[in-house]
Amino acid sequence: MSKVTYNEDNIRHLDWREHIRMRPGMYIGKLGDGSSADDGIYVLLKEVLDNCIDEYVMGFGKEIDVQIHDGVVEVRDYGRGIPLGKVVACVSQINTGGKYDSKAFKKSVGLNGVGTKAVNALSDYFKVQSVREGKAKVAEFNIGDLIKDHRLAKTKEGNGTLVVFKPDPTVFKNYRFRAEYVESQLWNYAYLNSGLKLHFNGKTMYSRKGLLDLLSNKTQKENLRYPIIHLVGEDIEVALSHGNHYGEQYYSFVNGQNTTQGGTHLNAFKESIVKTVRDFYGKNYDAKDIRASIVAAISVRVEEPVFESQTKTKLGSNDIGPKGPTVRTFVNDFLKKELDNYLHKNEAVAKELQRRIQQSERERKEIAGIKKLANARAKKANLHNKKLRDCRVHFNDSNRKSPEEKRMKTTVFITEGDSASGSITKARDVQTQAVFSLRGKPLNCFGMTKKIVYQNEELNLLQHALNIENDLEDLRFNQVVIATDADVDGMHIRLLLLTFFLQFFPDLVRSGHLYILQTPLFRVRDKRKTFYCYSETEKQDAIRKLRGKAEITRFKGLGEISPNEFKDFINENMRLEPVVLQQDTELDELLAYYMGKNTPLRQKFIIENLRIELDEIEDDIEIAEAMGEEKKEEMEMVGA
């Protein structure tokens, strides 16, 4: 065994830029290409927006302008503007900022002075401009290096700060900002800051009633069992109702930050709802029955919050402030008083809430026996049939990371048929990628109750493989990827699986865990080069680039792609299409349209899209013929 030296030469000092670029995950979480809502490019945007929001909270600036074009982001607020003499320092010197002064930013989102520095270091181009009292200061950077420090200049612009940045494509490979994720991000800021207007690429996000508007826009009134309960107190706001959907749906926030992974405040909220309801009705209802089908939002403001990661997605603070109560006590005392008062004053709501709890209780008891038998079958099937080819990260005892940390790196591909699952299984990364193989087409479960999930073997095995039977927090894989053939049968299987998840596990979709695997439709090659094409347009471009007789292969099934080729399509650069629920998406209407009875409206949709497909085929034929004529002319010229 060779000796490893350890001396002064091994000790390195990294400046702030080098450290951020070498360990970006410490500052912005995962990198990604923008296909997931928690990818790094959206964290960069958030870090800039948080500063704008803090200005608004302190009473300065009522509008924020956001523009994103060709991967370049511009954010302009109308607050006080960064002090002109500290513009460069605030975006390029670590642990520098105004938020250390608790008098100025008592309940700010970012307290560590890192945010915009991380954006600067991870941007191919970064520009900051501050305007204060008729004077402007501008500085420009490249991956954290100051490339131009402009002199102070007079301006007629209003006070505020402008930040322009372009994420570094060597860090965020093939990235693309998705408008739906940005809009969702901005809407959350609007709900939590009533009266603030956020403008994004021509659209305006604005809210007057805070979390009441949030739940109103996330749900349809006719699908709620009773009107939304909206409670507001000092440093806390709550909105809740119950519907007829499966699962529990929560939106939680701390100091305006969307805590997608919850934390102490959300845990306290869940406990307090159960305790308050039990005390009000004087009955020891099961906690699962009380929270079944709940849709709720909670926002709290905490002094100097402690988050469990730099990306601030989970609150770790136990106390509201240095001299305040615990978060748990604060939330519980508020709900115990305000929710109890509301239920006493609104008898109709109280009765409907109780009916919903009792309905959940009946449904739970009805499937208890079926569930026990189904669990035994699922355990036996997983042991003997090997439907799930799991990844090793879950079984590596030497890896001391928590189950949540392990899950963040894992992916499961849901596929159908031996050939398709065989190709993916041979090509996958066995450490982090798993494969679940369906047998035939799954059941169309639209309109059915959850009882069918336990009675149908395939659906039951699937929920057990994902470990989502009891709680989404137990999900074993961060990315659940539907991988089906690019033909009619494959599309049908995809729709059936989407129906299953949207019907019974909508939280999985809302939380951004469900994706569609994009695999190439064509392989276009000659003796020199090979192109894998994901669309007709890409295929036509490849034919033009080869400028000659090309061998074109149409992949109709995943099994037709060799494992060696498949490795290129499911590695770190694989193309995933996220399944995104828009803010105004109504699940019942959506599923009824696509999976219900064949209505005239759906027939019209099919006919119109079939016509588009035929037009594309005709265009493809014309291009192929044109390429043939071009080749013929070249040959004639060579002969001459």
Q: What is the pLDDT of residues 416-457, one digit of tens each?
A: 877 778 888 888 988 889 999 888 888 888 888 888 888 888
- Cα gap 336→236, rounded to integer Å: 13
Highest mean pLDDT among 2-6, 156-160, 501-505: 156-160
- Cα gap 116→16, rounded to integer Å: 12
Stronger pLDDT, 154 or 446, i.e. the higher one: 154
175-212 pLDDT, tens digit each: 999 998 999 999 999 999 989 999 999 899 999 999 99
In three-state secondary structure terms, 584 is coil
Q: With 0-12 CB in 10 A as exposed, 13-18 as middle and 19+ as buried, what is 609?
A: exposed
Question: Which residue type sits at 315?
Answer: L
* DSSP-assigned states of every residue in 2-57: -----SGGG-----HHHHHHHSTHHHHS----SSSTTSHHHHHHHHHHHHHHHHHH
Name which of 516, 535, 533, 522 is nearest 576 in CA terms. Answer: 516
Quote the pLDDT of residue 584: 59
Computed over every residue of the chain, the mean pLDDT equals: 82
**Between β-strands 72-77 and 63-69, what pairing exists: parallel, antiparallel or unpaired?**
antiparallel
522-577 pLDDT, tens digit each: 889 988 888 888 888 889 999 988 887 788 988 877 877 888 888 888 887 788 88
* Alpha-helical segments (H) within 435-487: 451-455, 457-466
* DSSP-assigned states of every residue in 360-414: HHHHHHHTHHHHHHHHHHHHHHHHHT--EE--GGGT-TT----HHHHHTT-EEEE
- Cα gap 549→624, rounded to integer Å: 10
102-116 pLDDT, tens digit each: 444 555 555 445 688
**In angstroms, what CA-CA distances link 316 with 302, 305, 326, 474, 587?**
11, 8, 12, 19, 33
In three-state secondary structure terms, 271 is helix
Quote the pLDDT of residue 636: 42
Q: And the tokens for 83?
A: 């002090």
Please name the residues in contact with 84: beta carbons below 8 A apart, sequence gap of 6 or more: 130, 132, 135, 137, 152
Residue 14 has pLDDT above 80, yes or no: no
- Cα gap 97→161, rounded to integer Å: 14
Quote the pLDDT of residue 506: 84
In this prediction, residues 260-268 reach a mean pLDDT of: 84
Please name the residues in contact with 114: beta carbons below 8 A apart, sequence gap of 6 or more: 27, 94, 95, 310
Q: Tokens 């709550």 appear where?
A: 238
Pick from 106-115, 310-319, 398-407, 458-467: least confident:
106-115
* DSSP-assigned states of every residue in 62-130: SEEEEEEETTEEEEEE-SS---GGGHHHHHHSTT-SGGG-TTT-TT-S--SS-HHHHHHHTEEEEEEEE
All structural domains of the chain, each given as residue ranges with its CATH number in brackets, are: 17-205 (3.30.565.10), 211-366 (3.30.230.10), 386-519+555-589 (3.40.50.670)
- Cα gap 192→55, rounded to integer Å: 14
**Percent share of the chain, pLDDT over 70:** 80
**Between β-strands 479-482 and 433-438, what pairing exists: parallel, antiparallel or unpaired?**
unpaired
Quote the pLDDT of residue 319: 66
Backbone region of residue 30 per phi and psi (left: phi > 0; alpha: psi in -120 to 50; beta: other values):
beta
